[in-house]
């Protein structure tokens, strides 16, 4: 059987918060077994805590935001994806602001941070959610489905498609075994379109946004001088986001996720549907033969 994991050492970093345009200091710390991932707002009286789970989701506009009472933390998905990708079950995350810093727009800086902190094995067994029969959620032409997978791991097949006022269509499939997340998904950056910038600024969602923390796409293509890290980096980032959202289930998922034109809001609606369909999944001990998704 596979043991739960946390980190050995506390480490810190800082970076720009994309929503509020302010530097955010972040610290990661070991946590006891069965803690899950807990965010602590150190800038607020009483240091309020928010558990990263589906019940805590309060907003999904352009990112996943979790909250407890009046306390919220935004842009949690990249850090959560990195933690799941590194096989970390239990973690304390301290923040001195209302959002996780966007860093370079990918999970790579958090992977680097977790590697510095090193993995610690704990004296409690891991569990996983095993998909027993397909469950699907659709709305118009958007779709998310989870299917059983004979192998004890996670596979994701994802397609994005945009057609107006530009064309962007990308697909990617990845089966997570040791090293896959770190190599193929973690470095993929978030992206945005020039024609959306004014509206996102009006909504107060990208005050700290720049080409240093996102791919910017115009009518002529990618505007970032350095270009792309992968030819299909955008859809790879959508896979990264989906792993972060899946982690809100609180344990690894064994199955095949198929998504078409999904996003944070649609992902979370699907996960609610999944939890309601109790015949489609079961919780089992996580076998030591099953590789981490990283």
Q: Please identify every residue annotated as catalytic.
A: 264
246: helix, coil or strand?
Answer: helix
- Give the pair of three-digit tokens for residue 93: 């995350």
Dihedral of the alpha carbons of 1, 52, 271, 277, in degrees to the nearest 10: 60
Query: How far is 238 from 188, CA to CA, in rounded Å?
Result: 9
Query: How far is 43 from 35, CA to CA, in rounded Å?
Result: 22
Dihedral of the alpha carbons of 279, 240, 23, 208, in degrees to the nearest 10: -110
From the CB of residue 106, how many other CB atoms can be counted at a distance below 10 Å?
26
């Amino acid at each position: 059987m596979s043991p739960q994991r946390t980190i050995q050492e506390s480490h810190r970093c800082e970076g720009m918060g994309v929503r509020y345009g302010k530097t955010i200091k972040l610290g990661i710390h070991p946590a006891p077994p069965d803690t899950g991932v807990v965010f602590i707002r150190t800038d607020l009286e009483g240091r309020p805590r928010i558990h990263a789970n589906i019940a805590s989701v309060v907003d999904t506009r352009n990112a996943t935001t979790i909250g407890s009472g009046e306390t919220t933390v935004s842009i949690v998905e990249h850090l959560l994806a990195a933690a799941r990708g590194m096989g970390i079950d239990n973690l304390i995350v301290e923040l001195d602001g209302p959002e996780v810093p966007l860093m370079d727009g990918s999970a790579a800086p958090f992977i680097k941070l977790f590697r510095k902190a090193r993995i610690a094995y704990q004296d409690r067994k891991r569990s996983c959610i095993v998909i027993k029969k397909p469950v699907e959620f659709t709305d118009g032409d958007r779709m998310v489905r989870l299917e059983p997978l004979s192998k004890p791991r996670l596979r994701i097949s994802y397609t994005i498609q945009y057609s107006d006022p530009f064309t962007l269509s990308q697909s990617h499939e990845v089966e997570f075994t040791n090293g896959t997340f770190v190599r193929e998904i973690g470095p993929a950056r978030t992206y945005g379109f020039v024609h959306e910038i004014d509206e996102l600024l009006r909504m107060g969602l990208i005050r700290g946004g720049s080409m240093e923390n996102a791919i910017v796409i115009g009518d002529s293509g990618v505007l970032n001088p350095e270009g792309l890290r992968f030819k299909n980096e955008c859809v790879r980032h959508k896979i990264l986001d989906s792993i972060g959202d899946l982690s809100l289930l609180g344990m690894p998922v064994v199955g095949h996720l198929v998504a078409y034109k999904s996003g944070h809001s649609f992902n979370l609606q699907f996960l609610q549907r999944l939890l309601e369909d109790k015949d489609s999944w079961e919780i089992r001990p996580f076998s030591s033969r099953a590789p981490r998704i990283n």
